[in-house]
Structure 1
Amino acid sequence: MASKTHNVGVIGYGMSAKVFHIPLIQVTPSFNLHSIVQRSSKPDDDASKDHPSVKIYRSADEMFADKSIDIIAITTTPDTHFPFTKSALESGKHVIVEKPFVPTSSEAQQLIDVSSKTGKLICVYQNRRWDTDFLTVQQLIKEGKLGSVVEFETHFDRYKPERPPTWKGNLSMDHAGGVIYDLGTHLIDQAYVLFGMPQSVVAVFTNQRGDGAPEPDSMTVLLKYGHGRPLVTAKAGVLSIETEQLRYWVRGSKGSFKKYHLDVQEDQLKAGLKPGDKGFGIESDDMSGNLVVLDGGKAVRTKHKNLTPLTYASLYDGFRKAIEGGGEAAVPVKASDARDVLKIIEAAKESAQSGRAINL
């Protein structure tokens, strides 16, 4: 018997929708791009022209009321995620919501409770769990190639001297904005996937641009896991002038792995490629990481290529499988995971303000 077609509605028509969600919806078996909420269009930014067969709504409430929609993808700014997710669940829709999930861990728990009550699933779009170099790091650790990991650094450094005039450039204690929620969510989520909840958090936020703004634009967050466990550094800077930006540096008792460059999938999606296209997710050999291991007591370095890409489509396909019978256990990025990451972020904010370590 043919599987059911799941109608998907997308709230928002910015870069997130155009680059990270709509292309993945279009390649997910049994998912149908049904409708888009675009509050106002422009001649050069019109969802109805880009997707002439799709319904266009001018408000989220119209989409919530459409009983033919099975899933809603929320791609709007973080301050809208809580009310939109709650309304979508209560209107009988499954939800996939952009990161950061919601501003606070308490709001995350409220939505987890609503999900349980309604029987509708939530998946958080932490796509960088499917960065091919991150999956390669996971495999190296799992296979014991590095021995016992003692330090793990994950970086998202860039040269961006101009502050973005959006939520990404504005850290507020009441809203999910600024570097810790933008890039930090990815970095901390990856550490959480590898090592779980830390024992304590130490964070420093700073304004590297020196632009006079009170909000920080850069961060260094240390996650402490205790004796015999790794020390994790999550770092994002905006004035990093490099020909090759460091992405990972993992050190263990048997070896180390250092990787430069960012995963290629985002740039490929921006260029119009999709998962399944030839070469999607595959980086050039010169971008491969450096693996150093002991051989006869001597450190020997070799190039270590990435795994075969699973691609960001795996997140959407995993959510499809959860909806089609796998249930909460099969959701690829659970709301409870995002809640825990928010607890780490909240501890980092408290540490940066107080200047002390925050125990979890």
Structure 2
Amino acid sequence: MKRIKKLLFSSELYFALFLYAGVFKESIKLPIDLAAVFLLLTCVLMMINIYRKGVLNKTFLVLTTVLFTIVGYILLNFIFTSGNAYFADKLIKFILLTIPTIVLTVLILNSKESVHKFYVSIVLITITIALILVPSLIARGTNIGFIGISGGNYQGVARLLGAGLVIAIFYFLLIETNLKKKAIMLIASLLILTVLLGTGSRMPILGVILASIYIAFQLVLLKSGVIYLRKGVKNLIPFVITLGLVIPIIIQKGVLQTIIYRFIVLFNENGGGTSTLGRIERFDTALDMLKSAPFLGTGLGSFSVYYGNREYDYPHNLILEISSELGLLGLLLFLSIIFLALYFLLLILEKKTLQLLEW
């Protein structure tokens, strides 16, 4: 009970809710923006925690310098953008959503305990969303159709379910030692997997498969030419047995009809179907933009203009979106954030001392 109370009043929980608020906030009819509420709660709890500890990670200073550089570059980019109508919207979203996400990651996830709270929060949110979607999954039956909260944003739901599933599987196989908690993670994994397969979204499922391959490699340790099996290998037996019992049931209930149909379309129809053809067209447009202005790009928000003036369209690929609109220079600036984040994460996981500012 004490741990639950501690989690409920943690910045990690509200940070996770802020990150995934877009999945469900439109379905909850409130006069206020839930993402803004969760962001405010995250910042307040984080500031209280920083004040109590009296320390601030120096990585924060490096990161904010890079982010200010990016904002300055984007503002300079406005001089030659052809997407004036979309420039302001993208810049505002970058400042109000992307920057807080990056900065808060460094300020909040600064220890193994905080990372653990954050992961557990994502699993809890995922379980809640999965339970909410079960009636919709049952009601759809064997019909073809996407599953999302109130019928919308099935891709956002699938991304959340995919992230929660990977974390739950990882905890079950490699982290948790308590039998009760392991059982919870196993049940959560099966629930989330069932709903994820029912959403009809392909890429999150492919992402889970790739992440599962990584987890499988974590079960094996190669040292001095000798292969060692970690303790988590024995957990595969109940996982595979339970999965073998559940999969036939969800097949019989028609849960897989939509995703099977979508993969058949992907591999059998000319060009992979309209969804895939649309993405390929966008990829080609983004590449043409990059070729026309490789170093500085064609300007933030310009993709919609180049792609037939379609309102708020995008290439469906973040690397192509950044490089086509902000050029290779803009892409390097954004990649520097990723490298900083990975370096920071490695410091935590390897238990190396973080550089801190004290007061």
Scaled to the shorter chain, the TM-score interval is under 0.3
Higher strand share: 1
Q: Decide which structure has the larger Cα Rg and report it.
A: 2
TM-score (norm 2): 0.26
Higher helix share: 2
Larger relative contact order (CA 8 Å, sep ≥ 6): 2
